[in-house]
Amino acid sequence: MSKSMKLSSVQFFILTFGLATGTSILDLPGSIALVAREDAWIAALISLLINLLMAGLCLALSRMYPGQNLFEILESVLGRWPGKAFSLIYLFYFLTLTSTLLGDMGTFITTEVMPETPQEAIKLIFLLVIVIGARKGIIILARLGELLFPWLLLLLMLLILALIPQVTWTHILPVMEDGVGPSLSAGIQSSMFQEPIVLMGFLPLVKLPGKQARALLGGMTAGGLILFVLVLLSVMVLGIEQTSNSIYPVFVLAKTINIGNVLQRVEGILITIWIMTFFIKISLLFLLLLQNLQIVFNLKRTSHLIYPLAILLFVLASSVYINIVYVLDIAQNVWWKFAAIHLVFIPLVVYLIALIRHKLGASAAKS
């Protein structure tokens, strides 16, 4: 990926928004409500705060090594071979994440929308679109995001406004009946599904480095607030039991919309929103995987890896995403801990090492 290509701060904001919402608008409300119950909306705000802290850590690392992406920073801080070893660890993480998301997309479409269509066909069609996007590059993806974003906002506003008449405020009571523990636990778990570290691969491409922070933090905030509103509406409209027992509560929420027997069955709007944001998220992950391979193996170009990587993801999606029950159990009990290693622990350790090296370098320069 050439660094001569540049993204505007608006384009980077939209890409960040797409990454933050992605699959989360369908999957997260139910899992948050399962743990935090009536306080799910509080957990969503805690999740937003944690994601902003993780994004801040990414920005701090990027400012210490301007012009370098995640994998280049790992080599600069840890040394060439340890840096490549940690890049391979991230390669495994991103491969697992991307293939799981692909499996999630296939399961949702074949379960809720097209039950008679084989999952493999859905995955192949979507992978074909991702491959086309990868061949065109990050700039075309960003421009597509600019075209889709106004429609995305319009559809979101239509969905939210249509649900307001059905709100029952008593559904979020009592507040913190079991203390702050469940909300904190749910917030920590759900914060591991937005992955702001992915954007470290594209931060050097922002035209004006001074606007990196505003675009990244603004995009994470906007995405987090949308998730907060959807979680709040899910609980206030469906009630805690239906929300926590639904795999896709926001999809169920969209089905409840009925205004004067004229505006109803608008779940197609939600599917459109989800596909837009999902495409942005999985395309960013695909491009990041190519970037990882290029840096680890010192490749001049990655175009010849696009099709093999797509085939690998197709195979892994079937192997990793065994069934919805298995994946939900892994997501609630295992994945957030595994993700925390890559999203919090490793970046924090790398940042501390980089800080020490900078201070030692400054002391040596003075002496």
- Identify the CATH number of the domain in which residue 269 sits: 1.20.1740.10
Measured CA to CA in angstroms, residue 89 lies from 46, 74, 85, 233, 341 at distances of: 28, 11, 6, 38, 10
**269-290, pLDDT tens digit by residue?**
888 888 889 999 999 999 999 9
Asked if the structure places residue 4 within a domain, the reply is no
pLDDT range class, residue 364, cuts 50, 70, 90: confident
Residue 218 has pLDDT above 60, yes or no: yes
% of residues, the chain, pLDDT over 70: 99
**147-160, pLDDT tens digit by residue?**
999 999 998 898 88
* Residue 35 burial by Cβ neighbours in a 10 Å radius (0-12, 13-18, 19+): buried
* Residue 21 burial by Cβ neighbours in a 10 Å radius (0-12, 13-18, 19+): buried
Given this model, what pLDDT does residue 219 score? 95
Given this model, what pLDDT does residue 261 score? 73
Range of the domain at 54: 9-366
Given this model, what pLDDT does residue 347 score? 96
260 or 142, greater pLDDT: 142
Given this model, what pLDDT does residue 4 score? 55
Given this model, what pLDDT does residue 71 score? 95
Given this model, what pLDDT does residue 14 score? 95
pLDDT range class, residue 9, cuts 50, 70, 90: very high
**55-86, pLDDT tens digit by residue?**
999 999 999 999 899 999 999 999 999 999 99
% of residues, the chain, pLDDT over 90: 64
Could you tell me which residues are beta bridge partners of residue 206?
A: 7
Mean pLDDT score, 186-196 = 93
Given this model, what pLDDT does residue 367 score? 65
Asked if the structure places residue 1 within a domain, the reply is no
**293-327, pLDDT tens digit by residue?**
999 999 988 999 999 999 999 999 988 888 888 88
Asked if the structure places residue 2 within a domain, the reply is no
- Per residue, the 3-state secondary structure of 21-66, as one string, reads HCCHHHHHHHHHHHHHHHHHHHHHHHHHHHHHHHHHHHHHHHHHCC
Given this model, what pLDDT does residue 363 score? 73
The domain total for the chain is 1
Tell me if 85 sits within 8 A of 97, measured CB to CB: no
Asked if the structure places residue 3 within a domain, the reply is no
Tell me if 271 sits within 8 A of 248, measured CB to CB: no
Given this model, what pLDDT does residue 3 score? 57
Mean pLDDT score, 156-180 = 88
Given this model, what pLDDT does residue 1 score? 54
Asked if the structure places residue 253 within a domain, the reply is yes
